[in-house]
Amino acid sequence: MLTFTILLIAILGKVFVDSAIVYKWHALDFDWPNTSVRQELINNGSFIIQNNLISGIKIYNGSVYVTIPRWRKGVPSTLNVVVEKHGEAILKPFPSWDMQTQGDCSAIQYSQSLEIDPATGWMWIIDTGLNSIADPGQYLCPPKLVIYDINTDKVIRVHHFPEAIAPKMRTFLNDIVIHKVSGKPAYAYITDAGTAKLVVYDFRKDKSYTFSHKSMLDEQGPATIINFDHTQFTTHIPIDGIALSPDFRYLYYCSLASVKLYRVPTSVLANENADISRSVKNLGNKVSQTGGMIAGSKSLYYGALSLNAVYKWDFTKDMAMAASVDDVTLKTQTQVAKDDTYMEWVDSFAFDTNGYLWFTVNKLPNFLQNTMDFVNATSPSNMFIWKIYVGEKNYL
């Protein structure tokens, strides 16, 4: 589990891009209070090594924050910051061990995605309230949004989603982006893969509401099949990936079981009673199905899951070529990076302030099918964190 760094020089068109695997893990471990606590949690089933897999990632002030969704039992901490100890990269529960207590509804129960405002250090944490997907009915706490100030170590606000907005036996709050107005938070947009809806949180009113549309559903046929590791992985997950344009005018989203990318104006989403059906635009097909995606200052980046790659859509170029903003389609798609060994299932993205794009890789289908080896120390690494220089910054 030693930190592993490589430097590659890849020629993409006429652009030289440096990329690196910053961290790789065979299995995850934590910054325990002491070894006795670790062993105790192993003995009582609170820490099951093979059930811990990284997913979400964000960067702030040089620190790398990652989530471990409680897909299964035995995840002691669902939100963490990567720290180095004795030459190893381990995970320190964030903001504390107490905030990871399962069954304590004031703590974080299940975090898969988060966002951090680089201007303020506010961390927006989605907590589905879900204890474990593997155990039906284990929604112990209502789903909530926690806004936490990293710089002051204080909770700014907690919004509990009403049952009508995020029904606790169905909801799966998946990914989040933040919309600012005049430099201040105004809205959060969250995909709900459980109900196939878009959740909007109005920060100024402390109120949430939802939108639904056929574009948020999973497709049928070939779109449900992802070629992964020489096999075919079938999924029916609806709306999943989400990104926000740097001018905050458009929200982009896609279903996992689809190659289509959609756009809706945020001006429409500001009205909770709006009919968005006339405003949703099908921008065209991505090169592959994707889960996570993120908008930079010029392009939208996404994981091409069937290709073991990262691609970008140059929306700046396509908008400049279009007759009008309404005519923009998904034309200029470019491969940013590809690796058939170390980019199997590119999951989640983040930007730092130096022009680097970061992302997690976790071989998720293998995890879900119980074919990953966490025990044999000589087996291949299961999880990776990459960074690639793209010369862009966060949409925020």
Q: How many domains does the chain have?
A: 1
Domain that holds residue 171: 8-389
Enumerate residues 6+ apart whose C-beta is below 8 A from 36: none
Give domain status of residue 253, yes or no: yes
| 203, burial (CB in 10 Å: exposed 0-12, middle 13-18, buried 19+) | buried
The pLDDT tens digits of the residues spanning 16-59 come to 357 899 999 999 999 999 999 999 999 999 999 999 999 999 99
pTM score of the predicted model:
0.94
**Does any domain span residue 325?**
yes
Kindly report which listed range (13-17, 68-72, 116-120, 390-394) carries the lowest average pLDDT score. 13-17
Q: Is position 74 within any domain?
A: yes
Q: Is residue 28 in some structural domain?
A: yes
Is 2 a domain residue?
no
| pLDDT of res. 316 | 93
Domain membership of residue 396 (yes or no) is no
In DSSP terms, 12 is beta-bridged to 15
Residue 29 lies in a domain: yes
Asked if residue 395 has pLDDT above 90, the reply is: yes
Q: Tell how far CA 25 is from the center of its chain.
A: 19
313, part of any domain: yes
Characterize the bridge pairing of strands 239-244 and 250-255. Answer: antiparallel
User: pLDDT tens digit string along 146-197?
Assistant: 999 999 999 999 999 999 999 988 899 999 999 999 999 999 999 999 999 9
| CATH number of the domain where residue 86 is located | 2.120.10.30
What is the C-alpha to C-alpha distance for residues 364 and 133, in angstroms, rounded to an integer?
A: 14
